[in-house]
Structure 1
Amino acid sequence: MGIHIIKMPDIGEGIAEVELVEWHVQPGDTVVEDQVLADVMTDKATVQVPSPVDGKVQALGGKVGEVMAVGSELIRLEVDGPGNAAAGAKQKRPVERTETAAQAEDATAPAPVQERGADAHVATPGPAQVPIKGQAGQVQPAQSQPQVQPAAGAGHAAARPAGEKPLASPAVRKRAWDLGIELQYVPGTGGGGQITHNDLDSYLARGAMGSAAAGRAAGYAPRDDEQAVSVIGLRRKIAEKMQESKRRIPHFTYVEEVDVTELDALRARLNAQWGAERGKLTILPLLARAMVLALRDFPQINARYDDEAGVVTRYGAVHLGIAAQTESGLMVPVLRHAETLDLWACAAEIARLADAARAGRAAREELSGSTITLTSLGALGGVVSTPVINHPEVAIVGVNRMVERPVILGGAVVARKMMNLSSSFDHRVVDGMHAAEFIQTIRGYLECPAMLFVE
Structure 2
Amino acid sequence: MARYSFRLPDIGEGIAEAEIVAWHVKVGERVEEDAQLADMMTDKATVEMESPVSGVVVELAGEVGDLIAIGSTLAVIETDAEGDDTVDAPPADTPVDEEIAAETPGAEEVSDAEAAPPPQPVRPEPVEGPSLSAAVEKKDGASTSSARTEHGKAVLASPAVRARAKHLGIDLSQVQSDGDRIRHADLDAFLRYSAGQGYYAPGASRARTDEPIKVIGMRRKIAENMAAAKRAIPHFTYVEEMDVTALEEMRADLNANRGGRPKLTMLPFLIVAICRTIPQFPMINARYDDEAGVVTRHGAVHLGMATQTDAGLMVPVIRDAQDKNVWQLASEIARLAEAARSGKAKVEELTGGTLTITSLGPLGGIATTPVINRPEVAIIGPNKIVERPVFDGDDIRRAKLMNLSISCDHRVVDGWDAASYVQALKKLIETPVLLFAD
Q: Partner residue of 2:16?
A: 16
- Which residue of structure 2 lines up, in the alignment, with residue 63 of structure 1? 63
1:260 paired with 2:244, answer yes
- The equivalent residue for 1:247 is 231
**Residue in structure 2 matching 1:217, options 184, 191, 201:** 201
Whether 2:244 is the aligned partner of 1:233: answer no
For 2:35, the equivalent position in structure 1 comes to 35
Correspondence list, 1:13-412, <5 A: 13-81=13-81, 82=83, 83-88=85-90, 106-107=117-118, 109-112=120-123, 211=194, 213=196, 216-217=200-201, 219-220=203-204, 222-223=206-207, 225-274=209-258, 276-412=259-395
Q: Is the 8 A contact 2:244 2:400 kept in 1?
A: yes
Counterpart position of 1:192: none
| SS across alignment from 1:246 | helix
Displacement of 1:104 after TM fit?
A: 12
Instruction: Tell me if structure 1 keeps the 8 A contact 2:44–2:218.
Output: no
User: Per-residue deviation at 1:229?
Assistant: 0.9
Alignment match, 1:131: none
2:219 aligned partner, one-letter code: R
Separation of aligned partners in 1, 2:434 and 2:229:
35
Structure 1 unmatched runs, 5+: 115-149, 156-177, 180-206
Does the Cα contact within 8 Å between 1:373 and 1:390 map onto a contact in 2? yes
Q: Which amino acid aligns with 1:312?
A: V
Q: Give the Cα–Cα distance (whole angstroms) in 1 for the partners of residues 76 and 122 of structure 2.
A: 35
- 1:264-311: CA deviations, max 9, x gaps? 11111111111x321111111111100000101001111001111111
- Could you say if the C-alpha distance between residues 234 and 111 of structure 1 is closer, same or farther in structure 2, counting changes exceeding 3 Å? farther
Aligned to 2:404: 421
Contact 2:38-2:48 at 8 Å conserved across structures: yes
Q: Is 2:242–2:430's contact at 8 Å kept on the other side of the alignment?
A: yes
Work out whether residues 317 and 339 of structure 1, in 8 Å CA contact, stay in contact via their aligned partners in 2: yes
Whole-angstrom distance in 1 between the partners of 2:274 and 2:91: 59
Q: Quickly say closer, same or farther: Cα 1:445–1:55, change in 2 above 3 A.
A: same
Q: CA deviation at 1:220?
A: 3.0
What residue in structure 2 maps to residue 435 of structure 1? 418
Q: How far 1:27 sits from its partner (Å)?
A: 1.6
- Cα shift readout 1:220-259 (whole Å, capped 9, x = no counterpart): 3652611111110000000000000000100000000011
Q: Which amino acid aligns with 1:17?
A: E
Contact 1:17 1:68 in 2 (8 A): yes
Residue deviations 1:64-88, cap 9 Å, x none? 0001111121111110113322223
1:59, distance to aligned residue in structure 2 (A): 2.1
The 8 Å contact of residues 44 and 314 in structure 2, kept in 1 or not, is answered as no
d(CA) in 1 for partners of 2:117, 2:215: 25
Distance 1:104 1:358, change over 3 A: farther
CA RMSD of aligned residues (A): 2.9
Question: Cα gap change, 1:422/1:78 in structure 2, threshold over 3 Å: closer, same or farther?
Answer: same
| Residue segments in structure 2 that go unaligned for 5+ positions in a row | 104-109, 126-134, 142-167, 170-189
Distance in 2, matches of 1:257 and 1:92, equals 66
Aligned mates of 1:93, 1:397 — CA distance in 2? 53
- 1:49 maps to amino acid: M
1:213, CA displacement in angstroms? 4.2
Secondary structure of 2:40's aligned partner: strand
3-state SS in 1 of match to 2:26 = coil
Higher-Rg structure is 2
Task: Give the distance between the partners of 1:378 and 1:105, measured in 2 at CA.
Answer: 51
Cα pair distance change 1:348/1:221, threshold 3 Å = closer
- Kept in 2: contact 1:407–1:414 (CA 8 A): yes
